[in-house]
Amino acid sequence: MPSEKETQFERLWEGETPSGKNETKALQFRQKMRMALVQKGAQITKENAKQYWMGTLHTVREAQEQENREFRDRRQQERPDRRRR
């Protein structure tokens, strides 16, 4: 059973409103998702847009940044303190 947020995404993606289907609202929402995916560096697909909306989208760039952070943290821990005394 889809969550409320997934249902909300589908309604916005299709432009469904209480008074019927509104194509302009669908296009506006899709454009908003498209711009968010461009900023994230992700491929523009409905599935990626849904993952972004749900907060589960992890791009290759984010994974690389996380690896770099972990590498820097490990390297700092391994360095001896070389201050002059």
Residue 1 · residue 20 · CB < 8 Å: no
Each residue's pLDDT tens digit, 24-50: 999 999 999 999 999 988 899 999 999
Lowest-confidence segment of 6-15, 20-29, 37-46, 51-60 by average pLDDT = 51-60
- Residue spans of the domains in the chain: they are 4-78
37 within 8 A of 46, measured Cβ to Cβ: no
* 4 vs 83, higher pLDDT: 4
Q: What is the pTM of this model?
A: 0.69
Q: How far apart are CA 73 and CA 24, in angstroms?
A: 48
